[in-house]
Chain A
Amino acid sequence: MNGYGFRQAARMERIKLGSVRSTWWLAIAAVVSMAAAGAGVGLGYRSHTPVATGAQILNNSLGGAIVAQLLLGALGVLMVTGEYGTGMIRSTFAAVPRRRIVVAAKAAVCGGAALTIGLVASFAGYLGGQLAIRGTAIPAASLGDGPILRAVLLTGVYLGATALIGVGIGTIVRHSGAAIGTLFGLMFVPMIVAGLFGESGIAVGRFVPLLMLLNSIAVTSPIPGLFAGWVSVLLMCGYAAAAILCGGLLLRHRDA
């Protein structure tokens, strides 16, 4: 009985997250988009010559993560901006006046949920691809194979981290449309900018989320010049931590 704290705030956030429809729609959409992308890739390669490799199928069938990251990023954003847009934030801060506890609770609950959804979506992408190439000459990729399992797991973690970046940006920006716009911009614009540097772009590109996803995280072996998959994922978690920290600092001095 030491008064309100993280445990209570986390319970509140869990109830809040589960009791709005957008959460469920975004979760379902993330899983479906990855499964569909995986199946689409598999079907496309069925009659492809030369016969695709197992790595090719896996790398491409995780490509749905491009869409899933936006959906889960939006999930994270809405967890914060959904409250600012509706006035709910005042009820929340009246219940838990220490705002950093609220941000920590939101990050923990959102991170846990998005990690779970991300992993399910990632496995759905893998399965979609594998089921679609059944009965062809294309070799199946087994999850017992280290690099395969690693790519699938890291993609799930990447998606969870994206949602946390969303929480951070949402806390900084506070407006749903502006925050989602900012998030999408941060996902795509750096990739285009890195592309402008041509050959030397890789030195910058290995820090860019989308390039890390497509060339280091969701692939069996990273493209030369990029970090190892787990380093890229850690970098994403670092971005998320920085964004949430910024939001938390701003929150202290703002009127709700």
Chain B
Amino acid sequence: MLPSVIRVIELRELTKRYGRRVAVDGLSVRVQPGVVTGFLGPNGSGKSTTMRMILGLDAPDRGEALIGGVPYPDLKWPLRTVGALLDAGAFHPGRSARAHLAALAASNDIPGSRVEQVLRIVGLSDAATRRAGTYSLGMRQRLGVAVALLGDPGVLLLDEPVNGLDPEGIRWIRDLLRGLAAEGRTVFVSSHLIAEMALTADRLVVIGRGRLLAETTVAELAAGDDSLEDAFFRLTSQATDYRGVGAS
């Protein structure tokens, strides 16, 4: 694996506008290797946009996102440096999981044997020849995780990986992420589920309306208030776009 400094994700004044709406607003964060960093925020707070900018899929209006000091497109072998799970549908439904992985492996000179390896890790070996469109949501997430692990990368970015997983799948993801971090990898995982983050993450980056609200640890955030949930609401109360009121 790469030396640890190359595994740091650094966001500098990252800003993205969609028309007049500011999705990400001057976000500066360093995400360190060796721990799971949770990326928390209400719906629409800019988590996914930030992740897409790190991967060079969306272009920032201002600022930059660097992996070990290098913009994503300048990485020599992107998939061997950064593994990403962006959404559980980033595949062609007519293609088998094995072909999907084989194609992506070929793009970064990753040996074919690794495809079988990651299929085993995520538990899709028996379904590998099936068309991915026939998969359940949980299996799609597993395929997404297989893609992220494909290049044995030192940096992992996962956008809402537990969405659609059953309790067993959630625990599997949690153990997997903690294991990857323990191996010295950088694990940056977004979620709007505070309780889940409390179990998975060590460090937390909290954003609301595209702005950094806190860069802290799970222990610190929960210390002042009764629960992590209360602390989260206190932090994001000014930065939530949509809120319902109690039914009368």
Interface set of A (CB-CB < 8 Å, partner B): 2-4, 8-9, 11-16, 19-22, 82-83, 86-88, 90-98, 253, 255-256
How far does the alpha carbon of A15 sit from the alpha carbon of B106 in the complex, in Å? Answer: 8
Interface pair A255/B92, CB less than 8 Å apart: no
Which of B87, B94, B106, B108 is the one whose CB lies under 8 Å from A20? B94
Interface pair A253/B76, CB less than 8 Å apart: no
Contacts of B56 in A (CB 8 A): 93-94, 97
A113 to chain B, nearest CB (A): 15
Q: Do A91 and B76 contact each other (CB < 8 Å), given the known contacts A11-B107, A253-B59?
A: no
Contacts of B106 in A (CB 8 A): 8, 11-12, 14-15
Q: How many residues of B contact A (CB 8 A)?
A: 34
Interface pair B77/A16, CB less than 8 Å apart: no
In the complex, the 3 A-B pairs of residues with the closest C-beta atoms, listed nearest first: A19-B99, A3-B76, A97-B73
How far does the alpha carbon of A98 sit from the alpha carbon of B75 in the complex, in Å? Answer: 10
30 contacts between A and B (CB under 8 A): A2-B76, A3-B75, A3-B77, A4-B108, A8-B106, A11-B107, A12-B106, A15-B103, A16-B92, A19-B95, A19-B100, A20-B92, A20-B94, A82-B92, A83-B92, A90-B55, A90-B86, A93-B55, A93-B56, A94-B78, A94-B79, A94-B86, A95-B79, A97-B75, A97-B78, A253-B59, A255-B52, A255-B58, A255-B59, A256-B58
B100 to chain A, nearest CB (A): 8
Known pairs A11-B107, A87-B91, A255-B57; list 18 more (Cβ under 8 Å).
Answer: A4-B108, A15-B99, A16-B92, A19-B99, A82-B92, A86-B89, A86-B90, A86-B92, A88-B91, A91-B147, A93-B55, A94-B56, A94-B57, A253-B59, A255-B58, A255-B59, A256-B52, A256-B58
B110 to chain A, nearest CB (A): 10
B103 to chain A, nearest CB (A): 4
Give A88's nearest chain B residue, CB to CB: B92
Give B79's nearest chain A residue, CB to CB: A95
Q: Kindly state whether residue B109 has any CB partner on chain A within 8 Å.
A: yes
How far does the alpha carbon of A16 sit from the alpha carbon of B59 in the complex, in Å? Answer: 26
Interface set of B (CB-CB < 8 Å, partner A): 52, 55-59, 72-73, 75-79, 84, 86-87, 89-96, 99-100, 102-104, 106-109, 147
Interface pair A91/B59, CB less than 8 Å apart: no
Q: Do A97 and B72 contact each other (CB < 8 Å), given the known contacts A4-B108, A86-B92?
A: yes
A215 to chain B, nearest CB (A): 38
Chain A, interface SS category:
helix
Which of A4, A11, A253 is the one whose CB lies under 8 Å from B77? A4
Contacts of A11 in B (CB 8 A): 106-107
A75 to chain B, nearest CB (A): 14
How far does the alpha carbon of A19 sit from the alpha carbon of B86 in the complex, in Å? Answer: 23
Which of B78, B91, B100 is the one whose CB lies under 8 Å from A4? B78
B81 to chain A, nearest CB (A): 10
Interface pair A16/B103, CB less than 8 Å apart: yes
Contacts of A4 in B (CB 8 A): 76-78, 107-109
How far does the alpha carbon of A47 sit from the alpha carbon of B70 in the complex, in Å? Answer: 73
B157 to chain A, nearest CB (A): 9
Contacts of B52 in A (CB 8 A): 90, 255-256
Interface pair B107/A9, CB less than 8 Å apart: yes
Interface pair A12/B94, CB less than 8 Å apart: no
Q: Do A86 and B57 contact each other (CB < 8 Å), given the known contacts A97-B72, A98-B73?
A: no
Interface centre among B76, B78, B92 (most CB of A within 10 A): B92
Contacts of A8 in B (CB 8 A): 106-109
B93 to chain A, nearest CB (A): 6
Contacts of B79 in A (CB 8 A): 94-95
